[in-house]
């Protein structure tokens, strides 16, 4: 790149012949924004006329600054003289100069209080919306029996593959590791009582009752709820959901029910995989570090394990599936047109899904304990 | 002080008599499909050049190649006196600072208000500009683009399609670039809105001394504001001329385009 040698910064000079006339020269452009500001700040009083005919280049910033100067000194703008080639620019800017926007956003304590109030109301609305959405989905699920043609088989299987099959290795691996950790933890405490063999009961009960289903649900809340929100949210942004509506189709039938059914089918299966992997993790730790050989471990497990533990765990799986799928889909449908809204909704869907899973699990644990299951 | 106006530099880079954009032998391929095969095009300083062509003739690809958003497979592109394909940061900055682009749907940042959108380039290139001045400049650009002042605090999603285009234009003008790229600015506007937008582009071009690269399908725009029109067909620029001369050009697509029912209507 070859550069022009002379850059002329903006300059002002009082006409020696007439102290009321100020002459401007140089480039009054965005490049010299600071120099323009400086040049106009320290001017002597009593200037009645500005001669800008020597200005070499002028852009919107230059004109804007001159206009502001004119306002400050209450100088009529017709006291400025410009070159002909600049007049179109001046005219265009002068035309629009006067309109001001209304006040900007308020940022005081009152506004903060207001936002807090709105946030509380929003949360309440969200809960109502979720319950309403649950009802709508259930009704439309039941309607499938009456009108089976509304059922989207291909979409359902597609989602089953995405949320179920694709997640299986991850669920198995993580459950295996958590199973091993619980075995270690149990062994550490139980060794002091010479009761290392009780690790078998600990791992089985923990995984069958709680951890198998809880781990799976939390993983899917992170993996699947976010995916549902992003997929549906993007469709909302691109007006695809509106297109579905005007084509006389039902977004719940098309988008929500396949996802709900897929998760309802796959979460229990994944839970089963998680349970098995967790038990395997406990067994591996038993065999390799706790001196409980595999046959002994298996025999102990068969002897002590009860089927009701498995049922307590399994019965929660469809509930979690419903919660995760509904939150994921509902948040997606509530996206509003912007990339930021999509991000907020995705975050909110994961946070809500994980919190709901844990809260429901805690309540279920209490209930089952009181009921002596 | 005598001030010889020197129209031959842009932001310190000497251009001389060369055109602002000079494309030579441009080739663009997408796999097997050849979009451009030896495109030559000059855009002269201070003109509005319309670029027309059927769907899929690579009008947008040409613009993206010139802007460096797409790497062409062959050819040379001179832009504002520098090599448009250069990766040198100083050169890239020179190009970015001196071009404004209006994408088809405005491409406004959806999480920022219109005012913030216009201030983004100002913040990036002139970080030490005082806040109040930056705000005033953004306001001025928004009003120059023909939006009401209270559009400043609105989000793009709260604007109509036509207003989004105007907001996109305001952002493209934020840095007072000498070179403006417009990708189908009137597509999707109603005829009255399109005519107003054409008039706006003409006014701004004259007021700010812009050079405009205008991709369009709109025959009315060609007749109303373009100084010259480049026709993309058969993977080349087959002609560059004022629109009146193009009408007489003997090429099937050009004949169909200008002398079809819509072309006749636009001319009358």
Antiparallel, parallel or unpaired: β B74-79 and B21-30: antiparallel
Burial of B82 (0-12, 13-18, 19+ CB in 10 A): buried
A188 and A83 both lie in a single domain:
no
User: What is the percentage of chain A residues whose pLDDT exceeds 70?
Assistant: 95
Residue A103 lies in a domain: no
Strand partners of residue A50: A22, A80
Residue A104 in domain: no
Residue A102 lies in a domain: no
* A178 lies in the same domain as A219: yes
Are A187 and A126 in the same domain?
A: yes
Check whether residue A170 and residue A135 sit in a common domain: yes
Residue A88 lies in a domain: yes
Last residue of a domain, one of A67, A96, A125: A96
Pair (A203, A70) in one structural domain: no
**Any idea which of A190-194, B254-258, B260-264 has the lowest mean pLDDT?**
B260-264
Instruction: Kindly tell me if the per-residue pLDDT of A105 is higher than 70.
Output: no
For A320, the 3-state DSSP assignment is: helix
Contacts of A238 (CB under 8 A, 6+ apart): none
Which residues of chain B does A62 touch, with a Cβ-Cβ cutoff of 8 Å?
none
User: Which pLDDT value is given to residue A263?
Assistant: 96
Residue A142 within any structural domain of the chain: yes
Mark whether A168 and A281 lie in a shared domain.
yes
Write down the residue that tokens 């290795």 correspond to. Answer: A169
**Global confidence as pTM:** 0.66
Q: What tokens does B230 get?
A: 């480049």
- Cβ contact (<8 Å) for A59 and B141? no
**Closest by Cα among B173, B44, B155 to B100:** B173
B13 touching chain A per CB within 8 A:
yes
**What distance in Å separates the CA atoms of residue A141 and residue A147, rounded to the nearest whole number?**
10
pLDDT in tens, B169-220: 899 988 888 899 998 888 878 888 888 888 888 888 888 888 999 998 888 8
Domain termination site, one of A96, A129, A160: A96
Structure tokens at A15: 């006409």
Are B139 and B151 spatial neighbours (Cβ–Cβ below 8 Å)?
no
Q: Which residues contact B90 (CB under 8 A, 6 or more apart)?
A: A1
Tokens of A129: 């919306």
Nearest to B53 by CA among B40, B64, B62: B62
Structure tokens of A32?
A: 């010299």
Using CB atoms, pick whichever of A54, A61, A340 lies closest to residue B137: A61
Confidence check: pLDDT of A78 > 90: no
Domain extent for A161: 117-370
In the A/B pair of chains, how many CB contacts fall below 8 A? 102
Q: What is the mean pLDDT of residues B57-79?
A: 88
d(CA B244, CA A198): 95
B252 φ/ψ angles, rounded to the nearest 5 degrees: -55, -45
Angstroms from B131 CA to nearest CA on chain A = 12
A85 and A144 inside one domain: no
Contact list, B111 vs chain A (CB under 8 Å): 338-340
CA atoms A294, A299, A305, A310: torsion sign: positive
CB A339 within 8 A of CB A347: no
Catalogue all structural domains in chain B, each as residue range(s) with its CATH number. Answer: 20-80+178-267 (3.40.50.300)
- Per-residue pLDDT, averaged over B67-87, amounts to 86
The tens digit of pLDDT for each residue in A255-268 reads: 999 999 999 999 99
Rounded Cα gap, residues A255 and A243, in angstroms = 13
Closest CA to A255 of A321, A180, A332: A332
The answer to whether A1 contacts B5, with C-beta atoms less than 8 Å apart, is no
For residue A254, give Cα distances in angstroms to A88, A148, A150, A251, A287: 57, 13, 8, 5, 49
Q: Verify that A122 and A251 share a domain, yes or no.
A: yes
Say which of A25, A88, A102 has its CB closest to residue B206.
A88
Cα–Cα distance measured from residue B58 to residue A319, given in angstroms and rounded to the nearest whole number? 53
Cα first-last separation, chain A? 81
Do A140 and A256 fall within a single domain? yes
Is B110 within 8 Å of A337 when comparing Cβ atoms? yes
User: Do A74 and A209 sit in the same domain of this protein?
Assistant: no
3-state SS class at A98: coil
Question: How confident is the model over B49-63, as a mean pLDDT?
Answer: 88
**Are residue A84 and residue A226 in the same domain, yes or no?**
no
Task: Confirm whether A5 is domain-assigned.
Answer: no
Q: Which has more pLDDT, B261 or A197? A: A197
Higher pLDDT, B179 or B13: B179
- Say what the pLDDT of residue A5 is: 45
The predicted structure's pLDDT at residue B5: 44
Torsions phi, psi of B233, nearest 5? -160, 155
Q: How many domains does chain A have?
A: 2
Phi, psi of A164 (to 5 degrees): -100, -70
Residues of chain A positioned with their CB less than 8 A from the CB of B81: 1
pLDDT, position A281: 95
Q: What pLDDT is attached to residue B1?
A: 36
Q: Give the integer Cα–Cα distance in Å for A126 and B91.
A: 51
Question: CA A282 to CA A300: how far, in whole Å?
Answer: 13
Q: Which residue in A1, A61, A339 is closest to B13 by CB distance? A: A1
Q: What is the pLDDT of residues A312-348, one digit of tens each?
A: 999 999 999 999 999 999 999 999 877 888 999 999 9
pLDDT at B4: 41
Instruction: Estimate the share of chain B in helix, then strand, then coil, as percent rounded to the nearest 5.
Output: 40, 25, 35
Task: Specify the pLDDT at position B3.
Answer: 37
* Mean pLDDT, all residues of chain A: 88
Instruction: Check residue B152 and report its DSSP letter.
Output: G
Q: Which of A90, A136, A43 is nearest to A326 (CA)?
A: A136
Chain B residues lying within 8 Å of A82, measured CB to CB: none
């Amino acid at each position: 790149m070859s550069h022009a040698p002379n850059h002329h910064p903006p300059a002002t000079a009082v006409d020696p012949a007439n102290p009321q006339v100020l002459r401007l020269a140089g480039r009054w452009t965005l490049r010299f924004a600071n120099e323009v500001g400086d040049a106009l700040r320290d001017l002597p009083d009593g200037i009645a006329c500005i001669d800008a005919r020597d200005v070499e280049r002028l852009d919107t910033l230059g004109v804007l600054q001159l206009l502001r100067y004119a306002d400050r000194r209450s100088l009529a703008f017709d006291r400025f003289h410009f070159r002909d080639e600049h007049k179109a620019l001046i005219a265009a800017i002068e035309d629009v100069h006067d309109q001001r926007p209304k006040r900007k956003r308020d940022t005081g304590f009152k506004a903060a209080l207001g936002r807090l109030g709105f946030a509380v109301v929003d949360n309440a609305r969200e809960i109502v919306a979720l319950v309403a959405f649950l009802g709508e989905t259930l009704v439309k699920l039941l309607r499938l029996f009456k009108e089976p043609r509304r059922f989207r088989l291909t979409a359902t299987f597609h989602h089953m593959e995405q949320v179920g099959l694709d997640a299986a290795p991850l669920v198995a691996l993580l459950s295996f590791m958590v199973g091993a950790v619980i075995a270690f933890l149990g062994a550490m405490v139980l060794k002091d009582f010479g009761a290392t063999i009780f690790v078998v009961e600990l791992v089985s009960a923990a995984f069958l009752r709680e951890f198998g289903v809880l781990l799976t649900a939390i993983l899917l809340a992170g993996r699947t709820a976010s995916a549902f929100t992003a997929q549906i949210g993007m469709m909302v942004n691109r007006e695809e959901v509106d297109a579905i509506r005007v084509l006389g189709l039902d977004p719940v039938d098309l988008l929500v029910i396949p996802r709900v059914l897929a998760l309802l089918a796959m979460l229990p299966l994944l839970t089963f995989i998680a349970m098995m992997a967790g038990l395997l993790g406990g067994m591996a730790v038993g065999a390799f570090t706790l001196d409980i050989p595999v046959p002994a471990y298996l025999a102990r497990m068969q002897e002590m394990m009860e089927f009701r533990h498995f049922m307590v765990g399994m019965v929660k799986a469809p509930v979690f599936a419903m919660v995760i799928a509904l939150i994921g889909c509902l948040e997606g449908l509530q996206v509003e047109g912007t990339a930021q809204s999509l991000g907020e909704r995705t975050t909110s869907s994961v946070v809500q899904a994980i919190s709901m899973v844990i809260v429901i699990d805690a309540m279920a644990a209490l209930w089952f304990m009181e009921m002596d299951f | 002080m005598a001030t010889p106006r020197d129209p031959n530099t842009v932001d310190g880079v000497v251009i001389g008599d060369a055109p602002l954009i000079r494309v030579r032998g441009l080739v663009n391929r997408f796999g097997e499909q050849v979009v451009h095969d030896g495109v030559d095009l000059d855009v002269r300083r201070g003109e509005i050049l319309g670029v027309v062509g059927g769907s899929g003739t690579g009008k947008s690809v040409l613009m993206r190649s010139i802007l460096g958003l797409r790497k062409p497979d062959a050819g040379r592109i001179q832009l504002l006196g520098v090599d448009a394909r250069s990766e040198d940061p100083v050169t890239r900055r020179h190009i970015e600072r001196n071009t404004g682009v209006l994408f088809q749907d405005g491409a406004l940042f959806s999480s920022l208000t219109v005012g913030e959108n216009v201030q983004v380039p100002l913040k990036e290139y002139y970080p030490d500009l005082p806040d109040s001045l930056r705000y005033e400049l953004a306001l001025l650009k928004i009003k120059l683009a023909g939006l009401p002042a209270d559009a400043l605090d609105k989000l793009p999603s709260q604007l109509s399609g036509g207003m989004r285009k105007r907001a996109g234009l305001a952002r493209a003008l934020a840095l007072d670039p000498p070179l403006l790229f417009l990708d189908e600015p009137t597509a999707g506007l109603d005829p009255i809105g399109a005519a107003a937008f054409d008039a706006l582009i003409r006014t701004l071009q004259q007021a700010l001394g812009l050079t405009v690269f205008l991709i369009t399908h709109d025959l009315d725009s060609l007749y109303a504001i373009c100084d010259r029109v480049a026709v993309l067909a058969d993977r080349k620029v087959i002609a560059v001329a004022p629109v009146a001369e193009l009408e007489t050009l003997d090429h099937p697509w050009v004949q169909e385009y200008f002398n079809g029912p819509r072309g006749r209507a636009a001319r009358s």
